[in-house]
Amino acid sequence: MNSTSFIQVELRPDGILLLTIDRVAQYNALSIATVEELEHLLHQAKSRKEVRAILLTGAGNKAFVAGADINEFKLLSPTESRAFAERGQRVLQLLEQMPVPVVAAINGFALGGGCELALACHIRIASENAQLGLPEVKLGIIPGYGGTQRLTQLVGRGQALELMLTGNPINATEALRIGLVNRVVPAEQLLPISIELLGTMLERAPFALTKVLEATAAAQQGGDQGYRVEAAAFEACCQLTDFQEGVQAFVEKRKPAFTGQ
Alpha carbon separation from 98 to 41, 46, 77, 191 (Å, rounded): 12, 7, 32, 20
Question: CB-based burial of residue 67 (10 Å sphere; 0-12 exposed, 13-18 middle, 19+ buried)?
Answer: buried
Q: Which H/E stretch holds residue 103?
A: strand 102-106
Q: What is the DSSP letter of 255?
A: -
Q: 136 an active-site residue?
A: yes
Alpha-carbon distance 188 to 227, whole Å? 41
Close Cβ partners of 244 (under 8 Å, ≥ 6 residues apart)? none
User: Among the options 39, 96, 128, 136, which is catalytic?
Assistant: 136
User: Among the options 37, 39, 116, 214, which is catalytic?
Assistant: 116
3-state secondary structure of 116: helix
3-state secondary structure of 94: helix
Strands 131-133 and 170-171: antiparallel
Q: Which residues share a beta bridge with 132?
A: 110, 170
- Taking a C-beta distance cutoff of 8 angstroms, is the pair 249, 255 a contact? yes
Close Cβ partners of 233 (under 8 Å, ≥ 6 residues apart)? 211, 212, 214, 215
Close Cβ partners of 100 (under 8 Å, ≥ 6 residues apart)? 45, 51, 52, 53, 54, 206, 209, 210, 213
Q: 230 an active-site residue?
A: no
Q: Could you give the residue numbers annotated as active site?
A: 116, 136
